[in-house]
Structure 1
Amino acid sequence: MEEDDLEIAIKVLVVGNGGVGKSSLIQRYCKGSYTSQYKKTIGVDFLEKSIEVDGQEVRMMLWDTAGQEEFDSITKSYYRGAQCCVLAFSITDRASFDAVDRWREKVVEQCGDKVCMVIVQNKMDLLDQGQHNSEGAQDGGPLDTSNYVTPQEGEDLAKRLKMRLHRISVKNNEGVHPVFEHLCGKYLASLKKMKQEMQQVSSSGAASSDMIGMFSTSISQDTATSSNTNGNTKNNSKGSKTKGDDDEERNDAINARTGTINLKPSRQRTGKGKDKKKKMGGCSLI
């Protein structure tokens, strides 16, 4: 089977405050259905949809998360392993707009900063209604539109977070599919870039023979020989060797005889105080 024939699975989170239309967005995209009746999501929900992007089969696993704070301890455990995320807010709910930064931080905390993200401004079908109500309010109407988020505010947020903004109407099925098509394309592009970087590393003779990731695989024959013939050689620069130095040289000698590749960190962690320049752990390949 060709590598390109393999199906790629992508875990997509849809997060945001309650009532912004997260469940409706997923239902509209996966099932093509919509209901105006609001039903609060308890914990998490999950749907799948398979699509083709640039000739590549992609299976999207869409996770619908509760927006209420009482479910935080439940929903955050489902964030891990996600490759993509939709940050949703409603044009009629300023609190949901103000909370976008907080939702982004939660996702980054659990998944890292490499997750592909987009911002979705939902309920654009109500924009005209808001403008109409604003005019009515000027004529003495009772309706307050201060809670509405303008399109320009959405643009400014997207620029600040360096993400793409999608204005959609789940109710009218406008702009829904491009959200997920963009996420898929962005993630596939990141996979392609990662593959190219790995090929460049493997094509480098020095890197492939002496390095595995950030670990050095070379074994000093001088160290192994001296450990075999004189296990208690002194360290000229620092006086007598420590027990850890003796153990390390003895392990190198054993590895040289048995054909074991000893992986040693090619760099050190930097810490504070007593932990400064603390050595990273290693492992062995038989």
Structure 2
Amino acid sequence: MESSSGAAPEFDYLFKLLMIGDSGVGKSSLLLSFTSGFQGKACYCWGQKLKLAIWDTAGQERFRTLTSSYYRGAQGIIMVYDVTRRDTFTNLSDIWAKEIDLYSTNQDCIKMLVGNKVDKESERVVSKKEGIDFAREYGCLFIECSAKTRVNVEQCFEELVLKILETPSLLAEGSAGVKKNIFKQKPPESDASTSGCC
């Protein structure tokens, strides 16, 4: 984004990240846990100043109204499931992975599988090994975390962003010099909410 005076952008790269998964798995809680640690400050990675636009479905996934506009141009997709609810894990392959294949416009998009709610270890029904196996099968990064205790929350986003920074095609797309502004891409009504962080 450039100021009206035509000055240099206030960041080096702008990345669009999506959070998908069943309702109630803790997507919004993960986002809140992550952004509260930064309180609007910029993220710095490898000497680069980054701006992240993190799109959260805000409950709309229940109505299956997500469309191609939600996925368009995303450099990273975070697939979240609840380790205490097997259906949320099963739906990753039955619903969410198929949706990514159908709608994602970025073949190099980095995917991250996140098992949330590890603070409820005694209620766990999806093993860590199952998560690792899924991630291997679908070519995803993998991490388990807890939005409640903030365990591994920052690492989740950091690993994803580092992988994007290592991918030349995604880096070129996210460059501040590219004349497109993903904040002007309005999500369709009742489709998604946009949250800027860092």
TM-score by length of structure 1 reads: 0.51
Cα offsets for 1:146-168 (capped at 9, x unmatched)? xx111121121112112221010
Aligned counterpart in structure 1 of residue 46 of structure 2, from 9, 34, 54: 54
Counterparts of 1:1-286 in structure 2 under 5 Å?
A: 7-32=12-37, 50-66=42-58, 69-74=61-66, 76-101=68-93, 102-112=95-105, 113-127=107-121, 129-130=122-123, 148-191=125-168
Q: Where in structure 1 are there 5+ consecutive unaligned residues?
A: 34-46, 131-144, 196-286
Judge conservation of contact 2:108–2:169 (CA < 8 Å) in 1.
Answer: no
184 and 98 in structure 1: CA distance in 2 versus 1, 3 angstrom threshold: same
Amino acid at match of 1:104: A
Which structure has more RCO (C-alpha within 8 Å, separation ≥ 6)? 2
What is aligned with 1:270? none
Letter in 1 for 2:45: V
**Contact 1:66/1:75 (8 A) holds in 2:** no
Structure 1 residues 69 and 62, CA, compared in 2 at 3 Å: closer, same or farther?
A: closer
Percent sequence identity over matched residues?
31
Amino acid across the alignment from 2:86: R
Q: Which has the higher helix share?
A: 1
- Alpha-carbon distance, 1:7 to partner: 1.8
CA displacement at 1:70 relative to structure 2: 4.7
1:107 offset after TM fit, Å? 2.2
* Number of residue pairs aligned between Structure 1 and Structure 2: 164
CA contact (8 A) 2:75 2:170 kept: no
Residue 50 of structure 2: SS of its match in structure 1? strand
Please give the alpha-carbon distance, in whole angstroms, between the structure 1 residues aligned to 2:163 and 2:99.
Answer: 21
